[in-house]
Chains A and B, each alone.
Chain A
Amino acid sequence: MSDITDEDLHRLIDGQLDLSRREEVETYLQQHPADAERTRLMAELNAGLRAVYDAELDEPVPTRFLLAPGIRKSRYRMVAMAAGLFVTGVLSGWMVRGTVITPNLALSLPRQAAIAHAVYAPEVRHPVEVEGKEEEHLVRWLSKRLGTDLKAPKLAALGYELVGGRLLSGPNGPVAHFMFQDSRGVRLTLYVSTRSGEPRETAFRFSQEDRVSVFYWIDGRNGYALSGEIGKDQLLGIANVVYQQLNP
């Protein structure tokens, strides 16, 4: 029986041994207690490893891992897109004005918003600084930093939950950035900046910034831009809801 090899013992405990061979190996082990003990220990490790790791299979899978191919975006593409949006923004600003100016100042509100969207919406680990469950704290903090009374719109009825928000730096100072997400992981962001000059109001305007659709408007001293990679009509419906909630 000396033709029993180490491989046979591994195959035995891994259930990968032919039936006929298996009988030979088992007979061998009955006559060789040391190898039988070693095999028992290896089988024990096998069972132990499964016990350790099988429990993890039952944990719920986060939505971000479940996005279907059409919805899922490569983070690298998004980063490239953000860079592209920024460069074209700088170039158009530069060409129109014909002089070298601070790049940020050349970026229009929808373009600033689209860049922020492209940067943060695909973020897996840190999409926001303060999570939606701390909404009150988030709104208080951002209101204080922007020096204006902010509100986070409630879009749950439309299927979008508040992920949270963060503070950004914009060309005119601090910017509040709120993020929302639906059950498929599609994200919308609301970019709120403050502006100097006389308070004024504008109608909704639409801008397509690469793949990011943006509806933006100015209300008093605040500029708002709602961005998402969804259809224009759909985004308009949501922008209306946002507007109404912010102006009850």
Chain B
Amino acid sequence: MDEHPIITHIPRLRRYARALANDRYLADDLIQDTLERAWNKYHLWRPGSDLRAWLFAIMHNVFVNQMRGRRMDLEILTDELPIVAVRDTQSDGLELADLRRALSRLSVEHREILLLVSVEQMKYEEVGDALGIPVGTVMSRLSRARERLRQHLDGGANAVSLKVIK
């Protein structure tokens, strides 16, 4: 029996959900609700278009709705924890645990874009589809997200050296 195409994407959806929700239980709810919606709406998916981007778009919408229910406003999408030095160690190398912690301190919007681009390695156009934003916004948000991630890793120390060339 071949696996349904939706099922083959579940590990990726779960990974995305966990990083978005920053909490395993909330992530489980997010996955469950996303899958329910995906199964119910599967007939609306256009064969030939990218199923992964379609599923991630559903997850994004479900997540936004869940947060709307909890917070009544969407400021949380752009909330970011204050920059503090997240590195425990003084080693020069990039510590993966530090990186995970730094990512979790970013705003939801910045986390989303980094996960889709860096981890999922989606094309910028697909990212735009999944998040419902134009490619131009993908680019500016990505640039900002990378800058913020680096700042969180460095505890703000090197923030000044990250200038943007135009």
Contacts and interface: CB of A to CB of B under 8 A. Distances in A.
Interface residues of B, number: 42
Nearest to B95: A48
A6 B166 CA distance: 6
A158 interface: no
Q: In the complex, which of the residues B39, B115, B119, B123 has the most CB atoms of chain A within 10 Å of its own CB atom?
A: B119
Contacts, number: 96
B79 interface: no
B36 A53 contact: no
Interface in A23-71: 35, 38, 41-42, 44-46, 48-54, 56-59, 61, 64-66, 68-69
B96 A65 contact: no
A134 interface: no
Interface string B83-100: 000000000001010011
Interface string A2-39: 00111101110011100000000000000000010010
Nearest to A10: B142
B51 to A, nearest CB: 15
Nearest to B117: A14
Contacts of B150: 41-42, 45
B10 A68 contact: no
A54 B99 CA distance: 14
B165 A35 contact: yes
Contacts of B96: 48, 51-52
Interface in A98-125: 124-125
A50 B99 contact: no
A72 interface: yes
Contact of B28 (A42, A53, A125): A125
Contact of A65 (B18, B31, B149): B31
A61 B10 contact: yes
Contacts of B10: 61, 65-66
Q: Is the interface of B mostly helix, strand, loop or mixed?
A: helix
A74 interface: yes
B31 A15 contact: no
B12 A57 contact: yes
B134 to A, nearest CB: 13
Contacts of B164: 6
Contacts of B146: 10, 42, 45
Contacts of A44: 94
Nearest to A15: B121
Interface of A: 4-7, 9-11, 14-16, 35, 38, 41-42, 44-46, 48-54, 56-59, 61, 64-66, 68-69, 72, 74-75, 124-125
3 closest A-B pairs by CB: A69-B39, A49-B118, A56-B15
